[in-house]
Amino acid sequence: MRTPQVTVVGAGSWGTTIASLAACNAPTLLWARRPELAEQITAAHENPDYLAGFALHPDLRATSEIAEAAALADVIIMAVPTHAFRRTLTELAPHARPWIPVVSLSKGLEEGTHKRMTQLIEEELPGHPAGALSGPNLAKELLKGQAAAAVIAMPDHSVAQQLQALVRTTMFRVYTATDVIGVELGGAFKNVIGIAAGMADGLGTGDNTLAAVITRGVAEMTRLGVAMGGDPATFAGLTGLGDAMATCISPLSRNRTLGVEIARGRTAAEITKEWRMVVEGIRAARAARQLAAEFGVDAPIFREVNAVVNEGRTADEAFRGLREIQPATEDKAG
């Protein structure tokens, strides 16, 4: 049997990294919206926009033609931001071959509908198996050759196993799962916890507070994720607690860095206007607050982070608000 052709859609830092890793195992094509970036990736094996100085796999090719990217694919990996996800799927739809798996790398929810990315795949590419690849993964560390782990989640475990072989390497351990809902929600909600952790660091609250923010944030994520259909065990694994830890402690994390800058007196709007990269936690905070209200889940950290990034509250005001909440039971992540 021939080796499947992998297409990664989206040439940001994480999409480029996954494409470079997949090129170790299979012919891989990376779609970039800008022709000049696609040419640089193919010719120089580098993405100067997002990963300057990091060498990509020499066999990785790139294109700016969406029809070419879709038509050649046996597997499509979606690595575009959530706000562009549905639009990009509609561009792909006329060209994608039937029934091929489509995997999301995007850690967030659609603004307004709060739908997961696999739900968008099911709507825009009906009949295609839809899944997610997620975990505590920082692109630059992987390209340096440092070890990392992730989870590929598909409704059909046998499909997950086949896809696992396409993206794993000796330094990138990929586990399989069938809890697509839990994997996606963990990837979205951990961004909100990352902003809270960054605000804690920026305010100089200390490691005790940081540990409390992370663990109580994961408790909120678990309560809400289970209410929405996820498996509670998922939120204690790589795509829940693991991803939250990386996002909360690494200086490479956009969401944590946003929180630090907010604590120093800047607004989310000011910061993101300067940055070229999307900070998914801003949208995720609004979605998490609204979903918590809809499902009747107590989520004070999500509520306070949303008030800061979307409603103008300061980081200091948010932490004062959290201190005023009466602690309840710790049993069952309460």
Instruction: Provide the pairing of β-strand 75-78 with 172-177.
Output: unpaired
pLDDT at 331: 64
- Least Cα distance to 238 among 148, 299, 154 occurs for 148
Percent of the chain with pLDDT over 70: 97
Q: How far is 47 from 332, CA to CA, in rounded Å?
A: 45
Provide the pLDDT for residue 275. Answer: 84
User: What's the CATH fold of domain 6-178?
Assistant: Rossmann fold (3.40.50)
- Res. 21: pLDDT tops 50: yes
CA distances for 34 relative to 26, 37, 55, 66, angstroms:
24, 5, 20, 11
Question: CATH 1.10.1040.10: does it fit domain 182-333?
Answer: yes
Tell me which amino acid residue 173 is. R
* pLDDT grade for 321, boundaries at 50, 70 and 90: confident
pLDDT, tens digit, for every residue of 297-314?
A: 999 999 999 999 999 999
- What size, in residues, is the chain? 334
Handedness of CA 307, 309, 310, 314 (dihedral sign): positive
For position 222, what pLDDT does the model report?
A: 98
Beginning with the edge strand found earlier in the chain, give each strand of the sheet holding 148-153 in spatial order.
Answer: 61-63, 28-31, 6-9, 75-78, 102-104, 130-134, 148-153, 172-177
- Which residues are catalytically annotated? 190
Contacts 24+ apart (CB under 8 A), 325-331: 325/300, 328/298
| Equal fold, 6-178 vs 182-333 | no
What SS3 state is found at 183? helix
Over the Cα atoms of the chain, what is R_g? Answer: 19
Residues facing residue 42 across a β-bridge: none
Cβ-based neighbour number of residue 194 at 10 Å: 33
The sign of the CA dihedral 283, 289, 293, 298 is: positive
* Cβ atoms of 69 and 29 closer than 8 Å: yes
Q: Map tokens 């910061």 to a residue.
A: 271
Whether residue 333 is predicted with pLDDT greater than 50 in this model: the reply is no
State the pTM of this model: 0.94
User: Where are the chain's structural domains?
Assistant: 6-178, 182-333
Read off the DSSP letter of residue 331. G
pLDDT in tens, 239-267: 999 999 999 999 999 999 999 999 999 99
Three-class SS state of 61: strand
Does the structure show a pLDDT above 60 at 34? yes
Among the listed residues 216, 205, 192, the one whose alpha carbon sits nearest the alpha carbon of residue 302: 192
Half-sphere exposure of 302 (CA within 13 A, CB side): 27
In degrees and rounded to multiples of 5, residue 54 shows phi and psi of: -105, 125
Residue 226's Cα: distance from chain center in Å? 19
Residue 17 has pLDDT above 50, yes or no: yes
pLDDT for 147: 96
